Amino acid sequence: MADYDHSHVKRLEAIQRIKLEYLKTVKTSRIPIDFIKHRLTESYSLAKPAAVKTKTRSGGNSKKGQQKKEDIIEATLRLYAHRGYYLTKIRDITKALGISSPTFYRYFKDKRELFVETIEYVVKNFKNEIQAALKGEKDLSRRSMIMFTTFYAHYPKIGEILNQLRSGVIIGDPWAKDRLLRLNREMMGDLIKELQGAIKNGIVRPIDPVLLSHFTLAIDEVAIHLASMDDTYSIDDVMYFVGDMLNNAFLTEKGKQIFNIFYKSRKPEKP
């Protein structure tokens, strides 16, 4: 005889979800047992009493509770930088913070919910800072500089989240693919609006602002990575490079007149 409780039902439900996700991505009816074990271990945290699950909903309501949630998220981001999302276990997080598993479950239902809230936390802080910095600023060149410097300041966390989701896409995680697409939309909403305004004012050629925003993100990431790896390049070097690329690749003659004066004045002097 054996005793079964709610956690066993949740485990079976998780296995069924894993199977369905796998069958959507491959043309086979055979699912490797190691794949199921890996997903259970790395992507799901299932064996939790119902009473603890109820606490998850109320743990972060108070100011002190919200601070504890943010402490967990910050510790999680540091672990992601070393181990990645798929290899970071809940016990790694609790050990890093010196808290118990029941304490963790008071604030987060499982590992996936923690990841979702980590994404929301990072993007919310990034967007709030950009919107506050842009408030009242009318000069388009300065708005461009503000958006880049804010992105640069937040990139250690934003980049880590992007890397984890991109890794999930590579290994075939449908959830990671969907969440990465949504994250890109959320994160670049302000940039798309800026580009739409520039196109309307005749400063940028009439091209797809969504595609241009993704292209701009790619340029920014490459430049930031280079500056972080090579001390030869400073933030001013990186900013000038990105501005120069945009200037020569996308701007109309009217746009060039506006941005040339600004970027020439900031061009770093070489010895």
Same domain, 148 and 103: no
Q: Pick 144 or 267 by higher pLDDT.
A: 144
Same domain, 68 and 119: no
Helix/strand/coil for 47: coil
Same domain, 126 and 165: yes
Same domain, 129 and 96: no
Q: How many CB atoms lie within 10 A of CB 247?
A: 18
Q: Helix axis angle, 111-134 relative to 33-43, nearest 10°?
A: 50
- Residue 38: give the domain boundaries: 1-47
Measured between alpha carbons, how far is 130 from 185 in angstroms, rounded to an integer?
16
Mark which of 69, 90, 109 sits at the end of a domain: 109
Residue 92 has pLDDT above 60, yes or no: yes
Domain assignment present for residue 271? The answer is: no
Same domain, 104 and 123: no
The CATH number assigned to the domain holding 68 equals 1.10.10
Same domain, 92 and 123: no
CB 151 within 8 A of CB 222: no
Measured between alpha carbons, how far is 52 from 240 in angstroms, rounded to an integer?
52
Measured between alpha carbons, how far is 94 from 104 in angstroms, rounded to an integer?
7
Q: How many CB atoms lie within 10 A of CB 26?
A: 11
Q: Tokens 């199921």: give the residue.
A: 36
> Residue 111: exposed, middle, or buried by beta-carbon count in 10 A (0-12, 13-18, 19+)?
buried
User: Residue 50: what pLDDT?
Assistant: 36
Q: How many CB atoms lie within 10 A of CB 130?
A: 21
Weakest-pLDDT range from 48-57, 103-112, 125-134, 144-153: 48-57
Binned at pLDDT 50, 70 and 90, residue 75 comes out as: very high
Cα dihedral 43, 46, 51, 53 in deg (nearest 10): 20
Buried b (16+ CB within 10 A) or exposed e, 214-242: ebbbebbeebbeebeeeeebeeebbbbbb
173: phi then psi, degrees, rounded to nearest 5:
-85, 110
Same domain, 233 and 171: yes
| Element holding 153 (H helix, E strand) | helix 140-170
Same domain, 156 and 84: no
Residue 131 has pLDDT above 80, yes or no: yes
pLDDT in tens, 11-63: 777 777 777 766 666 555 566 665 666 566 654 433 333 333 334 445 666 78
User: Residue 138: what pLDDT?
Assistant: 87
Weakest-pLDDT range from 107-116, 164-173, 237-246, 261-270: 261-270
**Tokens standing for residue 253:** 């003659």
Same domain, 57 and 178: no
Q: How far is CA 26 from the centre of its chain?
A: 27
Mean pLDDT of the chain: 81
Same domain, 239 and 160: yes
Residue 128 has pLDDT above 90, yes or no: yes
Under DSSP, the state recorded for 267 is: P
User: Residue 196: what pLDDT?
Assistant: 94
Same domain, 72 and 124: no
Measured between alpha carbons, how far is 127 from 147 in angstroms, rounded to an integer?
10
- Structurally, the chain folds into a number of domains equal to 3
